[in-house]
Amino acid sequence: MLPDSVRIVEVGPRDGLQNEATIVPTPSKIEFVNALVDAGLTEIEVTSFVSPRHIPQLGDAAELAGALSPREGVRLSALVPNARGLERAREAGIRRIALFTAASDTFTEKNIGMTVARSLTVFGEVAHLALEMGISIRGYVSTAFECPFEGAVSPQRVLEVTEQLLALGADEISLGDTIGVAAPTEVERLIELLRRRVPLGRLALHFHDTSGTALANVVAGLSLGITTFDASAGGLGGCPYAPGAAGNLATEDLVYLLQRMGIHTGVDLGRLAQASAIIERTLGRRLPSRQLQRLGAASAAETRNRSATRGTSREAGGGDVAGDPAAGTPTRPR
Ligand code: MG
C-alpha cells in the first residue's frame, strides 16, 4: 500500500551548498530559500552553525537565518554541532535543529572529529538544552548502508544509533545512504529491522543518486510505509567521495516520481525549477536533476517556437537560433 502523501525535507541550502566549491552570496541564498517556500516546500534545512573555518560555504549562517522571515506552516531548521552552535542558532531565530552522527566510527571521526559514542554524549547535552528552549530536534544517521572507510554497515548498528538519538529527544531520524550505493533490497532489510522497534513515522530516508539507485530506493521505502524523504533542489551538492558523480537525490526528480505515482507532495514542480535556477545562475553551471534539465529544455524549445512564429523566416533562421540558450547548452563539468 502506497501513502497518499509524502513529506519532503529540503536539504539543498545546507547539505547541497556545503558540498559546492563556490561560496554562494547570502542574498542569493535568501532568494533561493524564499523561492523554495514559494514552490510549496514546508521543511527546509537552511544552514549549519558550524565554524566558518570548517565549512566556509555556510559561514553566513547567522546572517542568513536572521534574514529569513517566518512563514505560516513552514519550518526552517539548521544543523548544529555543539552547544555553542545551538546558542547561535537560537539567537538567529531557529526553532528546529538537526544533529549529525553516523553508524560508523571512522566516518564520524573524519567528518566531525568524534567517535559515534562521543558524538552522542555531546549531543545529549545539546539536545537537553534545545528541548528546554522549546527547539525541536531531527537526528541524522549517516552511513546507514555503507561507510566509505569501513565498508558495509550492519542494520543492527543503525538501529542502535537511531534508538540512542530518539532517546536524546529527537522526533525524527533521517537515515542516510552517504555514498549512494544502496539497492532497494538493502532498504527493505534495514526498514524491516527498524520498524520492530521504531514507529515508521519517526523515520526519514536520505538517498544519494551516485549509483543511480536513489528513486528505486525511494519506492522501496514508500512500499514499506516510509512517508518522509530528504532531497536537494536541483540535486545540489555532488558527492564528496566520488568527485563529479551525483550526490543528493534531486527534489525535482523526487517530486516528479511522487506526482506521477499519484502521491501528494504540495510542491509545484515548475516553481521548484525556478528556485533551482537561482542557484544555477550563481554557480554558473547546470545542476544534475533530470527533471530540471527536462523543464529547462522544454521552456527553451517553447521560446524558440514562439520566436520562430513571430519573426520573419530570415530573422528566425538567423539571429534567434544563434542566441538560443538551448542551442549552446554547455556540457556539465565533470
Ligand atoms: Mg546528503
DSSP state letters, 186-219 = HHHHHHHHHTTTS-GGGEEEE-B-TTS-HHHHHH
Ligand 1 midpoint to CA 301 (Å): 32
Three-state secondary-structure class, residue 9: strand
Asked whether the predicted pLDDT for residue 94 surpasses 60, the reply is yes
SS (H, E, C) 106-127: HHHHHHHCCCHHHHHHHHHHHH
Ligand 1 midpoint to CA 309 (Å): 44
Query: Which residues belong to the active site?
Result: 239
Question: In which band, very low, low, confident or very high, does the pLDDT at 254 lie, cut at 50, 70 and 90?
Answer: very high
Question: In which band, very low, low, confident or very high, does the pLDDT at 311 lie, cut at 50, 70 and 90?
Answer: low
pLDDT tens for residues 22-32? 999 999 999 99
Question: In which band, very low, low, confident or very high, does the pLDDT at 318 lie, cut at 50, 70 and 90?
Answer: very low
What pLDDT is stored for residue 246 in this prediction?
Answer: 78
What pLDDT is stored for residue 323 in this prediction?
Answer: 32
Q: Report the pLDDT averaged over residues 241-266.
A: 92
What pTM does this model have? Answer: 0.90
Asked whether the predicted pLDDT for residue 330 surpasses 70, the reply is no
Ligand 1 midpoint to CA 322 (Å): 38
Q: Are 115 and 108 in contact (CB under 8 A)?
A: yes
In the chain, the percentage of residues whose pLDDT exceeds 70 is 93
Give strand pairing partners of 97.
Answer: 78, 137
- Residue for grid cell 516520481: 257
Strand-strand pairing, 136-142 and 96-102: parallel
Q: Which region, left, alpha or beta, applies to residue 315 given φ > 0 means left and ψ of -120 to 50 means alpha? A: alpha
Whole-angstrom distance, CA of residue 24 vs CA of residue 17: 8
pLDDT tens for residues 125-170? 999 999 999 999 999 999 999 999 999 999 999 999 999 999 999 9
- Nearby residues of 328 by Cβ (< 8 Å), 6 or more positions away: none
Asked whether the predicted pLDDT for residue 79 surpasses 90, the reply is yes
Ligand 1 midpoint to CA 58 (Å): 15
Question: In which band, very low, low, confident or very high, does the pLDDT at 251 lie, cut at 50, 70 and 90?
Answer: very high
What pLDDT is stored for residue 217 in this prediction?
Answer: 98
What pLDDT is stored for residue 317 in this prediction?
Answer: 37
Give strand pairing partners of 206.
Answer: 176, 230
**pLDDT averaged over every residue in the chain:** 91
Asked whether the predicted pLDDT for residue 78 surpasses 80, the reply is yes
Question: In which band, very low, low, confident or very high, does the pLDDT at 321 lie, cut at 50, 70 and 90?
Answer: very low
Ligand 1 midpoint to CA 247 (Å): 7
Identify the CATH homologous superfamily for domain 7-288.
Aldolase class I (3.20.20.70)
Whole-angstrom distance, CA of residue 102 vs CA of residue 314: 61
Of residues 275 and 112, more confidence is placed in 275
- Nearby residues of 23 by Cβ (< 8 Å), 6 or more positions away: 56, 57, 59
Ligand 1 midpoint to CA 318 (Å): 44
Give ion ligand 1 contacts, CB < 5 A: 15, 248
